Structure 1
Amino acid sequence: MRQRCLGKFAFWCFFSFLSCAATQAHATAMLTLPGPVVCAQWLHAHSRDVQIVDVRDDPDSLSTPPIFYTQNGQKHLKRVGGHIPSALSVDFLALRNTHRVDGLSLDFQFPTPAEFQSLMQSICLQSNEPIVIAPTGDSAISLQEGALLALELTVYGVPTSEIALLNGGTHAWITAGFPISTNTIFPASGSHWRAKPARASILAHTADVRRQLDRGGLVLDARPLDQFVGITHSPVVTLPGRIQGATALPAEVMYTRAEDGSWHFLTPEQYRNVLAALDIEMDSRTKADAIVYCNTGQYAAGAWFILNRIIGDSDIRSYEGSLYNWEHHGLPVVGLK
């Protein structure tokens, strides 16, 4: 039995070495990403030139086949299973940790630089290589999960020019007819990826939000509209409602579902039209450095990615911990009476 276990361990080490060696080989020529989002067709044509990082909250589905259903004699993808071949894998739940903030023990906090560095090294991420983040694409929430990883990579030093999201996610990849793998993604060693000190210009904290409100600055609530007005609320926050003075940027109007069932970001022009329809001015001098928040930071990460990366407004900060942190600091919310 001991010999068999040692044999498996040796195989795993050899496989890990080959995996990292293959990843490092991609660095021979630095590819320029076409923008903050790429389509499945582009990724298929350049899959050997980028690091594909799968992010999802159900890692078990990486090794299970996709689920299909038939309607009117046609086969449709119901749920993503498997992953894009050669993809690295990040468990979405590992992107946030419990930390002490202002003397409070709070969940849903960004990892420290050391924690994030360890996580990226554990998946064998390499430095100075373009990254395409692949959410499942089964829901708008999956796009926000991908956006949170993009936000954390940016916070810890990866240039935005080296980060893109796969529009439609793995769902769009599968429905385009590209190959899928259900092989286990082994954790590999050999990465020397390093996190840089956090970029404070991207993150906001509770004191920043209060100062922003005091000076009449723009604070955007990126949750669904029913949570903004206080009809419903997430179980992770205590009371229904919003931060007084916040402006709604409803999640319902920020994403769209394609005919193949995959969820996509809108175009920059469409987003500008959405902001205009909501009477949100991003170019006002007093509101240029907007802060986005939600319940714990996931919706906010999606809004940050849209405003900062897709529209191109660099003065956007995401409130770490969001309403969860706000309430744990004893601050009020307003909603329906």
Structure 2
Amino acid sequence: MKKIKLLLAFALTGLVSLVQAITLPGPVVSADWLSNNLSDVQIIEVRTDLASYLRNPEFDTDKKTGKKFLVEVGGHIANSTLLDFKKVRVERLVDGKKIKFLIPEKADFEKLVQSLGVNSDKPIVLVPIGQDMSDIDEALRTYWSFKVYGGDQVAVLDGSVRGVNM
């Protein structure tokens, strides 16, 4: 009976290893890579415009060329989680002076990540909205916050949410 339990324990350990087998290709992932691995990663969309996560994108048409172009970003990747970037930077007292835009203390950052339901068993891909450079900065700042506190399996989507097949 002990041998059966031991074999079962080894088999279950092997299954758990298979579940966690996906490895990020690097600190930056392409839209194609993400589209092909959506179910194997946790997607966190980093935004300050929280309303954009739920609204539909708006398009207009160029009268000369007839081509559609994006006017207002909206929508999100299925099964993604929304992170309010304003919570990734804080104001603290340092030597009696108020300093803005600092990284949260470790316990506060961990609490924020836990509130999102992030699972440490799956890699994380941070996705910027990509309207302008500051959106990319938000995702990169969040990336470094994870790295400072020991997150190894974290990457940023190259580009933005617009490049992913939702």
Band of TM-score, shorter chain: 0.7 to 0.9
The answer on whether the counterparts of 2:127 and 2:139 sit within 8 Å (CA) in structure 1 is yes
Q: 1:143 aligned to 136, 147, 162, which one?
A: 136
CA shift for structure 1 position 29: 2.7
Q: 1:152 aligned to 137, 145, 151, which one?
A: 145
Q: 2:154 aligned to 163, 167, 178, which one?
A: 163
The answer on whether the counterparts of 2:20 and 2:121 sit within 8 Å (CA) in structure 1 is no
CA shift for structure 1 position 144: 0.8
SS at match of 1:107: strand
Which position in structure 2 is the counterpart of 1:182? none
CA distance in 2, matches of 1:107, 1:77: 34
Which position in structure 2 is the counterpart of 1:49? 40
Matched, 1:75 2:68: yes
**What are the residue-to-residue correspondences of 1:114-129 with 2, within 5 Å?**
114-129=107-122
Q: Give unmatched runs, 5+ long, in structure 1.
A: 1-24, 180-337
Which position in structure 2 is the counterpart of 1:131? 124
The answer on whether the counterparts of 1:137 and 1:172 sit within 8 Å (CA) in structure 2 is no
CA distance in 1, matches of 2:127, 2:78: 12
The answer on whether the counterparts of 2:77 and 2:161 sit within 8 Å (CA) in structure 1 is yes
Q: 1:89 aligned to 61, 76, 82, which one?
A: 82
Q: How many residues align?
A: 148
Matched, 1:63 2:16: no
CA distance in 1, matches of 2:116, 2:141: 17
CA shift for structure 1 position 149: 0.4
CA distance in 2, matches of 1:102, 1:169: 38
SS at match of 1:89: strand
CA shift for structure 1 position 35: 1.7
CA shift for structure 1 position 151: 0.3
Under a length normalisation based on structure 2, what TM-score does the superposition of the two structures give?
0.83
Which position in structure 2 is the counterpart of 1:231? none
CA shift for structure 1 position 106: 2.1
The answer on whether the counterparts of 2:61 and 2:67 sit within 8 Å (CA) in structure 1 is yes
CA distance in 2, matches of 1:150, 1:37: 10
CA distance in 1, matches of 2:21, 2:145: 22
Which position in structure 2 is the counterpart of 1:99? 92
Query: Greater RCO between the two (CA within 8 Å, min separation 6)?
Result: 2
The answer on whether the counterparts of 1:77 and 1:171 sit within 8 Å (CA) in structure 2 is no
**What are the residue-to-residue correspondences of 1:253-332 with 2, within 5 Å?**
none
Where is the strand percentage greater, Structure 1 or Structure 2? 2
CA shift for structure 1 position 79: 2.9
CA distance in 1, matches of 2:71, 2:134: 16
The answer on whether the counterparts of 2:81 and 2:116 sit within 8 Å (CA) in structure 1 is yes
CA shift for structure 1 position 30: 2.8
Which position in structure 2 is the counterpart of 1:33? 24
**What are the residue-to-residue correspondences of 1:1-20 with 2, within 5 Å?**
none
SS at match of 1:42: helix
SS at match of 2:99: strand
CA distance in 2, matches of 1:53, 1:44: 14
